[in-house]
Amino acid sequence: MAGYRKLGRTASQRKALLRGQVTSLLYHGKIVTTEAKAKEIRKIAEGLIAMAVREKDNVEEVTVKSIVAKRDNEGKKVKEVVDGKKVVVTEVVEKTVSKELPSRVHARRQMNKVLYGVTDVPAAGAGRKKNTKNVDVADMLFGEIATKYADRNGGYTRIVKIGPRKGDAAMQVIIELV
């Protein structure tokens, strides 16, 4: 017996289909699909969410010193004359930056192997091309989804049957994040 459903597709088509549907599920929260596809999507999505929950706190705070141009009240760079030339005045600023530990970086790379990039397009017609944003679904997994399911031990998705499809009578389901 095979460890997965073939879904009537070649390996590359099946992988692309599942990657797309898992990405949509994690980005939107729920999708409508067939029962067989939903059961395959569930395996992948729950593994990704479990990985995100496990690695959610693997960051450390690091203090970094950086040299920044000094600015005046209007936001313009402050310049002074040194040896007959105008030079921008700089100052040393300390920042606290969160740095991912190696295990979390590895988890992020494993997630990005499965997930596609998502481009968020605004609903309004004006400036649709300008205002598009690339959304990092792996960041979403670590930020929103992992914190939501931190105290839960598995069972992150729910499959609800909604009836047969009109064309071929395939069982349609809604798969959603609990």
Q: Which residue range is the domain that position 161 belongs to?
A: 11-57+103-177
Mean pLDDT over residues 9-35, rounded? 96
Q: What is the pTM of this model?
A: 0.81
Amino acid at 176: E
Q: Classify residue 30: in a domain, yes or no.
A: yes
| Phi-psi domain of 154 (left: phi exceeds 0; alpha: psi -120 through 50; beta: other) | left
pLDDT per residue as tens digits for the range 159-172: 999 999 999 999 99
pLDDT per residue as tens digits for the range 104-130: 999 999 999 999 999 988 777 666 677
Q: How do 157-164 and 133-135 pair as beta strands?
A: unpaired
Q: Around 4, how many Cα atoms within 13 Å sit in the side-chain half-sphere?
A: 16
Q: Both 66 and 146 in a single domain?
A: no
Is pLDDT of 9 > 80?
A: yes
Q: Both 136 and 72 in a single domain?
A: no
| Closest alpha carbon to 45 in 156, 171, 168 | 156
Which neighbouring-strand residues pair with 50?
none
CA–CA separation, 177 and 81 (whole Å): 61
How many domains does the structure of the chain reveal? 2
Is pLDDT of 2 > 80?
A: no
Residue 51 CA: distances (Å) to CA of 28, 111, 146, 150: 19, 9, 9, 11
Q: Both 110 and 88 in a single domain?
A: no
Q: Both 25 and 66 in a single domain?
A: no
pLDDT per residue as tens digits for the range 49-85: 999 999 999 999 999 999 888 888 888 888 888 888 8
Q: Classify residue 84: in a domain, yes or no.
A: yes
